[in-house]
Structure 1
Amino acid sequence: MNPRVKRLVLPLGGALVVTSMIGASFSSAAQAAPDPDAKTTALTSSGNAKAIAGYWTASKLKSATTYLADSTVSAKLTKTGAARAAADGKPGVVAPTGEGGKTAGVSKNLNLPITVGKVFFIDDKGKERWCSGSSVQSKYRNLVATAGHCVYDTDTNKPFNNFVFIPGYYQGKAPWGIYVGAKVNTHDDFTVYEDYDYDYAFVNVYNGIKQQPEKEVDYKTYKAHVDKGGVGRETSTNVDFETYDKWTQKGGLGKVDNVSSEDEVGPQYNGALAVASETDKWTWEKVTGEVYGLKDDKVTLKGNALPQASWPKTGSKVESRIENVTKTEYDAYKGPGYKKVDAKGNYTITYYYVVKYIKKTATVKYVIFRHYISTVADAGRLGDNVGGQGFSWNQKLGKKVFTFGYPTAPHLDGDKPYSGQTQKWCYGTTAAAPVVSAYKAQEQQAIKCAFTPGASGGPFLLQYKSSKRTGYLNGVVSLTIDSDKNGRYDRVTTPYFNGDTYGIYKYAANLWTGKLPA
């Protein structure tokens, strides 16, 4: 494990930017080979996109934590220690999507860009994480800009899993949809040498996916949905016998707990109730014979109710059921159910039952299960929905910029001014950043800003117009720094965007991600 990476100030959530550029601006690049310093890595196939988007439920979005290492940077800013970023050619710009379009209207307050949002992913420990990011101009309106460390794990030398971008994120909501990452484009010096002078990434995303309102369904519909990779959830409730009886008579699933030997009877007992008794996978599989169902406290076989005289013996197989759970629920579960993480990263528990027969008694606990599914719809291209910021490179230091993101971590002195659930901004003049040898950051630029970790990946925007909510991407938040070592973050840094950066951006801006399968 690389100690340098683990001491990063990644807490600033790396954000993605989706860009949509004017086709003519990139016509020459469309047929060009990738920049020799560029590294393009696949994130997932289009066939997995809906399942990944469905994975990020509102509860998971709100419970995810910022990508934070065990410390952040405290670097003294001195004349001899300041970075000296320099242009490697003439300056240039690419106009933002929608330049010259309708304005947002006059406001006394700054209009926040809807291109900015959060990127979410699962780290190498299986934990849900986030950074900040922004949509940026591209030919196919499918590009997001963020910090390299918010997409690519230099410890494992591969990208993080289940990567998505949510523009305009607000308190667990995805108003313009969820955009699943298809490809990530980085500089080789970041992925190979972990050089934070190249801590940026341009991510091509698929069309957005919008989650539809959750609806309740029967277990058969629920199981078919999750077996195909869909998202669903199950709830269990303790009820009285009358509620349990009515529920199961309607075809709902239920089980009975706390069955004592005194409660048990044989299948032909007058008034016997057939109930599901939970067992483990291996015991269930050893039972031979048919797999039965239970309905209305009676036994069914292939959907048909059996007369009591034909009920099977105690301990016969009852249909199993599968439940999608969160990682926290998965880790906490200690019961006999079979735990599994499927190929798409879904955490599941399969429960197995055998039939028992009981008489009605007050000592028994009755449980009913309800099932819900979530479906998704194609929301269209990122740039068409929220626009894309322009792009600039080889710009002089000393320019006024805005930076946006979702800071959340406390200052080093313990003060915690931000929640991470709403977008914030800073305004300052670019200047040389402190040299941070731990990250090989020797040519970054910075502005004075009290952002705390969580803003990583958020955009630096030149010439930001509040009325249009657009500007020119001139950097992405890389490090948060306490430059005077007083326990308060006072600067955010970005790699200097030069000709190398433009070359990688230009290549990424001409990549098509294809259509989502129906």
Structure 2
Amino acid sequence: MKRLLIPLAAASLSAAALALPADAAPDWVTDNLAPKPADAYGVANFWLDADGAALRKATQYHWDAKDVSKLVATQSKDGSPDGKPGLTAPTGTTGKPARAQNVNLPKTIGKVFFLDHAGNYRWCSATSIQSRHRNLVATAGHCVYETGKDVYDKWVFVPGYYQGKTPWGIYPGAYAFTAYDLDTYDDYDGDFAFVAVHNGFALSGQKQVTAKEFKAWAGDKWTKPRQISAEEYAKCVLNLGECWSEGEDKAADIVGPDHPDAVVEKTEVDEKTYQDAKTGRGQGFKFGEPVPEPVSKADWDAYKGLGKKGEDAYGNFTITHFYTQKWIKPGTSRKYYEAQYFIGMAKDMGRLGDVVGGQGFAWNQPRGQKVTVFGYPAAPHPDGDKPYTGVTPKWCSGKTGTKTYQVNTFRVEEHQVLKCSMTPGADGGPWLMKYDNGKRTGYVNGVTSMFHDQDGNDRVDFISSAYFDGEVADVYNKANYAETKSIVGPNGELLN
């Protein structure tokens, strides 16, 4: 893998992470996503608003299913380790290991959501990974960086995501770490990223407050209008409240039936006036047929209106009403409103690794390792068949290839591969070595980068990942030092 780029300075990173020998060139690159709590809160609220409407609107990262590339095996059978193999142990949140025949889904996996530069709502697959501050997400580099250059907007991780629901909270990205190869050359040998995320939080409803409380609130807040009477409006103005009026009081005008704003009203008349009226469309014309109304004897006796009173041989009493047309342009009335103040309540969910655990990390491992790969496939195969929905996670299991592979169109020289039919949407999903089905933990030894059709039948049959060598481990180690914090306080308030 090529040498990585000198990073941008980040004041919030630990000084230990930045300490390097004077003659050594740093071999990692980082970019800010939303390091400030206020920005991170706004990003998360963008996705959570309207009961997760934006989350449900998102589609998988766009990959042209008609342009699935082929792999070319190289001569190397040993891969390309650049040092000794290494492992970082996972952390879990599960209890006693369970015995199961099927593959148990890890609690750490989920989706990352972001806006691409065209404004499209997108998602990829990802996992929580063990780190010093229990705040790190592993995914594909192209799920964080667009064409290897700039980071995506409004980037968040949602573990356990399902149809707009965020069961363990939403975790806004703070800092992204990736390879110079991807950042500069869009080289998929470096198609991986580690993202340090803030503490997760969940929205927990709304609360109506006073104007003073509203002004002091640092979190999400909004006003709603409430219609009030003219008397309430006068009182509100007197007390210097936030109130306003709209429209004007204006009486209705008599107009012809052809007036563009005309509406017809019925006017009750006596029987003679109704019978003398014409049938048709116009002022004073008959309005429908006479309308008989059954009434009680008491109402019949008390009635003094224009209708015709009637009684049949069985003692049933009726009043028949007669109507003519009246065409008017409706009047208007002034309406009065006052503001109601609401604040959005939020709950701090804690650090990502404390909530869902974190997978381990492995590098410089021999080829031919057994791995279990998880992801949310959604796109169709090149032939148009669409076996996956992207709603629930799927998995593949097997041994990785013993050779390195090239994909010339993406500058790939040393990908590792696995026979698997998952389609795009699984991008960024973890390749877990030594997966313990009971503990639901393993070691991230790759992330899904590309999809391939080796036998030419227009079906994805292989997926590939960047080979995790010592330089990937170096990027991981630098991301390991990135510190983040809570963005909402114990009362749901936004922290500084």
TM-score when normalising by structure 2: 0.70
Q: Percent identity?
A: 42
> 1:389 pairs with 324, 334, 359, which one?
359
Matched, 1:409 2:383: no
Q: Is the 8 A contact 2:74 2:406 kept in 1?
A: no
Aligned position for 1:399:
369
> Structure 1 pair 433/31, CA: closer, same or farther in 2 (3 Å)?
closer
> 2:143 pairs with 133, 150, 158, which one?
150
> 1:140 pairs with 106, 111, 133, which one?
133
Q: Which amino acid aligns with 1:87?
A: P
The aligned length equals 388
Name the SS of the counterpart of 2:38 in structure 1.
helix
> Structure 1 pair 31/370, CA: closer, same or farther in 2 (3 Å)?
closer
Give me the whole-angstrom Cα distance separating, in 2, the residues matched to 1:377 and 1:35: 42
Q: Is the 8 A contact 2:189 2:415 kept in 1?
A: yes
> Structure 1 pair 63/365, CA: closer, same or farther in 2 (3 Å)?
farther
> Structure 1 pair 219/158, CA: closer, same or farther in 2 (3 Å)?
farther
Cα distance, 1:85 vs structure 2: 3.6
> Structure 1 pair 372/80, CA: closer, same or farther in 2 (3 Å)?
same
Matched, 1:429 2:399: yes
> 1:67 pairs with 43, 61, 79, which one?
61
Matched, 1:357 2:220: no
Q: Deviations over 1:94-131 (max 9, x none)?
A: 111149x7334222322100101000111111222111
Name the SS of the counterpart of 1:49 in structure 2.
helix
Q: Is the 8 A contact 1:131 1:456 kept in 2?
A: yes
Cα distance, 1:371 vs structure 2: 9.2
**Unaligned stretches of 5+ in structure 1?**
1-26, 235-250, 254-294, 307-316, 320-352
Q: Is the 8 A contact 1:74 1:483 kept in 2?
A: no
Matched, 1:452 2:423: yes
The residue correspondences of 1:91-490 to structure 2 (distance < 5 A) are 91-98=85-92, 102-154=95-147, 157-213=149-205, 215=206, 217=208, 230=220, 252-253=226-227, 295-296=228-229, 300=233, 303-304=236-237, 319=244, 354-358=246-250, 374-431=344-401, 432=403, 434-490=405-461
Q: For CA contacts below 8 A with separation 6 or more, give which structure has more relative contact order.
A: 1
Q: Is the 8 A contact 2:374 2:430 kept in 1?
A: yes
Q: Which amino acid aligns with 1:53?
A: A
> 1:498 pairs with 437, 446, 469, which one?
469
Q: Is the 8 A contact 1:73 1:480 kept in 2?
A: no
Cα distance, 1:305 vs structure 2: 7.2
Q: Which amino acid aligns with 1:90?
A: K
Q: Which amino acid aligns with 1:39?
A: V
Q: Is the 8 A contact 2:115 2:154 kept in 1?
A: yes
Looking at CA atoms only, which structure, 1 or 2, has the larger radius of gyration? 2
Q: Which amino acid aligns with 1:203?
A: V
Name the SS of the counterpart of 2:202 in structure 1.
strand
Name the SS of the counterpart of 2:189 in structure 1.
helix
Cα distance, 1:482 vs structure 2: 1.6
Aligned position for 1:50:
41
Give me the whole-angstrom Cα distance separating, in 2, the residues matched to 1:461 and 1:451: 16
Name the SS of the counterpart of 2:449 in structure 1.
coil
Give me the whole-angstrom Cα distance separating, in 1, the residues matched to 2:412 and 2:331: 65
Q: Which amino acid aligns with 2:397?
A: Y
TM-score when normalising by structure 1: 0.67
Q: Is the 8 A contact 1:434 1:483 kept in 2?
A: no
Q: Deviations over 1:399-445 (max 9, x none)?
A: 11011011111111111111111111111211146522121112101
Give me the whole-angstrom Cα distance separating, in 1, the residues matched to 2:435 and 2:42: 36
Q: Is the 8 A contact 1:478 1:493 kept in 2?
A: yes
